[in-house]
Amino acid sequence: VLGWTDDVAQRHVDIALAHPIKLIANALGSPPVDVIERAHEHGVKVAALAGKAVHAQRHVNNGVDIIIAQGYEAGGHTGEIATMVLVPEVVDAVAPVPVLAAGGIGSGRQIAAGLALGAQGVWLGSLWLTTAESDSSPAVLKSYLDATSADTVRSRCYTGKPARMVRNAWTDAWDPANGPGALGMPLQNILTSEANARIARSGRADLAFAPVGQIVGRMNEVRSVRDVMFQLVEEYIETVERLDAGVQA
């Protein structure tokens, strides 16, 4: 809860800028203009997530360097427009500002698709959650490995804003169809943070907060980041060669 106050967030920025970083990325709106200016003074570029073209334009007006066009499929806080539709809209809205495609990318074929939509690169979140290097708890890891692409839901139960996660008894309980629904941000987190800490300690996978995108359906085994990266690159090259062969023929 405290992480969402300006005072604490500013101290996070201080710590980040004390390290040799290249990028600060921000979700749920543009970073404050003073944060963008401080990052630029340190030679650090600033990226921001956008779920609509209008968000992307606002980021550019505020001085953001890189737009991450993140579709509905994504894990965590996400909007209502699918990556396939969103990326070209954002690319056209902010050109020549560089855009990264995000949401539902978990293979080399999907990287090629993101680039084909006009993005300069791609941005992955969910796929790292089942790597050997991830700090997912055993209960949450199991829920990722077992889930199909149909098993996620956009729920307000954790922060009060819609975020995609594995559907379970806790997300169902906060569904407005089953009761009063969640409070807005930040009240929902204040209301439930102690319960969430107890649930995390209990190891109950049927209640645990397990944020992840629809690509979870393809995350069926634990692999190292190294193996995942090699497979992404190899499949991307195969895909581009296959498409190129189609053009040549």
Ligand X SMILES: Cc1cc2nc3c(=O)[nH]c(=O)nc-3n(C[C@H](O)[C@H](O)[C@H](O)COP(=O)(O)O)c2cc1C
**What does the per-residue mask of binding to ligand X show for 7-26, with x meaning CB under 6 A?**
------------------xx
Stretch that binds ligand X, among 32-40, 58-66, 107-115, 124-132 (CB under 6 A): 124-132
Q: How far is the CB of 95 from ligand X (least distance, A)?
A: 21
213 near ligand X (CB under 6 A): yes
Three-class SS state of 16: helix
Stretch that binds ligand X, among 55-63, 86-94, 211-219, 236-244 (CB under 6 A): 211-219
What whole-number distance in Å separates Cα of residue 203 and Cα of residue 138? 8
Q: Which of 50, 101, 123, 158 binds ligand X (CB under 6 A)?
A: 123
- Specify whether the CB–CB gap between 160 and 191 falls below 8 A: no
Q: In the structure encoding, which two tokens stand for residue 82, read together?
A: 């699918």
- Specify whether the CB–CB gap between 167 and 151 falls below 8 A: yes
89 near ligand X (CB under 6 A): no
Q: Which of 102, 112, 117, 228 binds ligand X (CB under 6 A)?
A: 102
Amino acid identity, residue 129?
L
What whole-number distance in Å separates Cα of residue 47 and Cα of residue 58? 12
- Specify whether the CB–CB gap between 56 and 67 falls below 8 A: yes
**What does the per-residue mask of binding to ligand X show for 25-64, with x meaning CB under 6 A?**
xxx---------------------x---------------
Please give the residues from 144 up to 173 whose contact with ligand X meets the rule CB under 6 A: none
Tell me, by CB under 6 A, how many residues bind ligand X.
Answer: 23
Q: Phi and psi at residue 162, in whole multiples of 5°?
A: -65, 125
Q: How far is the CB of 246 from ligand X (least distance, A)?
A: 27
Stretch that binds ligand X, among 5-13, 84-92, 118-126, 170-178 (CB under 6 A): 118-126
Which C-beta is closer to ligand X: that of 79 or that of 211? Answer: 211
Q: Which of 31, 79, 104, 162 binds ligand X (CB under 6 A)?
A: 104
219 near ligand X (CB under 6 A): no
> How far apart, in Å, are the Cα atoms of 232 and each of 105, 107, 121?
10, 5, 13
- Specify whether the CB–CB gap between 48 and 59 falls below 8 A: yes
Relative to beta strand 76-77, strand 99-102 is unpaired
Which C-beta is closer to ligand X: that of 15 or that of 177? Answer: 15
- Specify whether the CB–CB gap between 56 and 94 falls below 8 A: yes
What whole-number distance in Å separates Cα of residue 92 and Cα of residue 107? 25
The contact set with ligand X (CB under 6 A) reads 25-27, 49, 68, 70, 73-76, 102-105, 123-127, 211-213, 215
